[in-house]
Amino acid sequence: MKRNIITSFSLPEAESMLWRAKKREILRFAERYLRIQMRMQMRREVTRTYNRRPGKKFVITATRLTAAEYDTFHYIAAVIRVSVSSLIYGLIQLWKKPSRRVIRRFFETNYCAFTSKWDAEAGSAEENIIFWPVDTKSSHSPPPWVALS
């Protein structure tokens, strides 16, 4: 059973309507978009950036994501210090390019987290995201080393 998480994003009004209508189709491009974002350096000692755009009306858009989708977006957003809303907005912008929609998927993801110590004395946790190639010729399952969580 996949657990769904209800969350919300701040999106421009037009993108909010598009997200509501095409969410599953847009999310199929998440691996590609997140890999593009991970080409950037990790950002530290800076504040988080948001998806503010002058002249656009933003609305709060409630949505359901699987726990894996939710954790993956939050992990990458935290590392590169952007809001999850910014990631979703960028993902929608990528999806809106017709030339990008004809490219098939090449990767799957696996987010995992490990906690070695988490109490009042100290906190030690590790998060990872792994991308593995999709075998388009067969029904592919991830290699055994990927199923870490």
Domain carrying residue 77: 4-146
Count of the separate structural domains present in the chain: 1
pLDDT at residue number 98: 78
Ranges of the chain with pLDDT below 70: 1-2, 43-53, 100-106, 135-149
How confident is the model over 71-100, as pLDDT tens digits?
899 999 988 888 999 999 999 999 998 776
- Contact (CB, 8 A) for 33 and 99: no
Query: For residues 53 and 67, what is the distance between their CA atoms, to the nearest angstrom?
Result: 29
Structure tokens at 91: 């993902």
CA dist., res. 90 & res. 97, Å (int): 11
For residue 56, the model assigns a pLDDT of 78
Q: What is the pLDDT of residue 129?
A: 83
| Distance from the Cα of residue 136 to its chain's centroid | 22
Find out whether 13 and 58 touch, Cβ atoms under 8 Å: yes
